[in-house]
Amino acid sequence: MEKSKNDRMVEILRRIKPERHGAVVEAMAERGVSYGLSYGVAIPVIRRVAGEYAPDHALAEYLFLQDVRELKLAAVYVDDPKQVTVEQMNRWADAMPTDEVMEHAAMQLFYAAPDAPEVIRAWLTVADRSRWKGALQMIGRQAMKGLLNEAQAIDLLSLIEQFLLTASDSSLSTVDDLPRRATVFALERLAGVSPELSRQTLALTTRLKQSPRPSLREIAEEIEALLS
C-alpha cells in the first residue's frame, strides 16, 4: 500500500530531526528569523532527505502547509518544477515565514517553472520586498543555468533597471531596504550571458552611480568591482 502524504511527512521529519542543532535555532532567533517550529537542521541534510521523495508535487504542497522550517524547505526540494503554477508561487510567497524559504524556493524551484517569466515581471512591480528578492534570485539563477538567450537577458536587465528606479522614486517604506544581495547576484549573472550583456550591465552601473540614493550607488560600485 502506498504511504499517505502524512506518513511520508512523518518519515521525512523522523529522518532529519536527529540532525537538529539548537545553536542554529538560537542564532536565527537572535537575527529575528522566526518559524513556528525549527530544529536548526542544515540545508544539505534537508536537501538530501527530501530529494529521495522527489519529484512529488502533492507531497510538496502538503509539506509546505506545515509550520515547520525543515518541512517548508523540504517542500522546495520535493516539488516538481514542471507542475509549479503562478497561483502556487503567489500562494507560497504569501506564506513565506522568512527570506531563507524564499531564497531556496526561488533559486531551487520557481526559476524552472514554466511561468517563471510571468511571475518575475509581476513580482518586480509590487511593493513586497520578499517578492522582489525572489524575482531577482530567479533571474540570476536562470542566467547562471544558461536558460536565457541574449535577447531575453537584455530584456530582464532593462526590467531590473526599471524596478530599481521605480522603487527608489516611490514613497514606499521599503525603498531604502532594497534586496541588495539579490540585486547584485542577478546583475552579475546577467553580465555573464554575453560580452554585450557585460557592456550593458556596466552601462547600467554608470547610470546608477548618478542616483541620489546611496543604496543604488553601492549596488553599482559592487557590480563594477565584480566585473572589473
> What range does the domain containing 150 cover?
115-228
| pLDDT of the residue at 24 | 56
Q: Is residue 88 part of a domain?
A: no
Question: Does 75 share its domain with 121?
Answer: no
| pLDDT of the residue at 91 | 98
Q: Is residue 201 part of a domain?
A: yes
Cα separation, 186 vs 126, whole angstroms: 18
Question: Does 220 share its domain with 145?
Answer: yes
Cα separation, 76 vs 95, whole angstroms: 13
CB 215 within 8 A of CB 226: no
Cα separation, 121 vs 26, whole angstroms: 36
Question: Does 129 share its domain with 217?
Answer: yes
Burial of 168 (0-12, 13-18, 19+ CB in 10 A): middle
Query: One-letter amino acid identity for 51?
Result: G
Q: Is residue 134 part of a domain?
A: yes
Cα separation, 119 vs 125, whole angstroms: 10
Question: Does 123 share its domain with 224?
Answer: yes
Residue ending a domain, among 55, 80, 105, is 80
Question: Does 121 share its domain with 185?
Answer: yes
Question: Residues of the chain with pLDDT > 90: what percent?
Answer: 76
Indicate if the alpha-carbon torsion angle 98, 99, 105, 108 is positive or negative.
negative
Question: Does 137 share its domain with 76?
Answer: no
Question: Does 66 share its domain with 132?
Answer: no
DSSP string computed for 180-194 = HHHHHHHHHHHHTS-
In this predicted model, what pLDDT tens digit does every residue of 67-113 receive, in sequence order? Answer: 999 999 999 999 999 999 999 999 999 999 889 999 999 999 999 99
Contacts (Cβ under 8 Å, ≥6 apart) of 90: 119
CB 144 within 8 A of CB 189: yes
Question: Does 142 share its domain with 44?
Answer: no
| pLDDT of the residue at 26 | 57
| pLDDT of the residue at 37 | 86
User: What's the predicted TM-score (pTM) here?
Assistant: 0.90
In this predicted model, what pLDDT tens digit does every residue of 165-190 receive, in sequence order? Answer: 887 544 444 445 678 999 999 999 99
Question: Does 227 share its domain with 119?
Answer: yes
Asked if residue 212 has a cis previous peptide bond (ω within 30° of 0), the answer is no
Residue ending a domain, among 62, 80, 98, is 80
Helix (H, G, I), strand (E, B) or coil at 173: coil
Q: Is residue 68 part of a domain?
A: yes
Cα separation, 186 vs 160, whole angstroms: 9
Residue ending a domain, among 28, 53, 80, is 80
CB 63 within 8 A of CB 71: yes
Confidence of residue 33 (pLDDT cuts 50, 70, 90): low
Question: Does 134 share its domain with 71?
Answer: no
Question: Does 54 share its domain with 125?
Answer: no
Q: Is residue 93 part of a domain?
A: no
∠ Cα 100 103 104 (to 5°): 90
In this predicted model, what pLDDT tens digit does every residue of 198-223 receive, in sequence order? Answer: 999 999 999 999 988 888 999 999 99
- Indicate the number of domains in the chain: 2
| pLDDT of the residue at 161 | 96
Question: Residues of the chain with pLDDT > 70: what percent?
Answer: 89
Instruction: Judge whether residue 119 has pLDDT over 60.
Output: yes
Question: Does 213 share its domain with 157?
Answer: yes
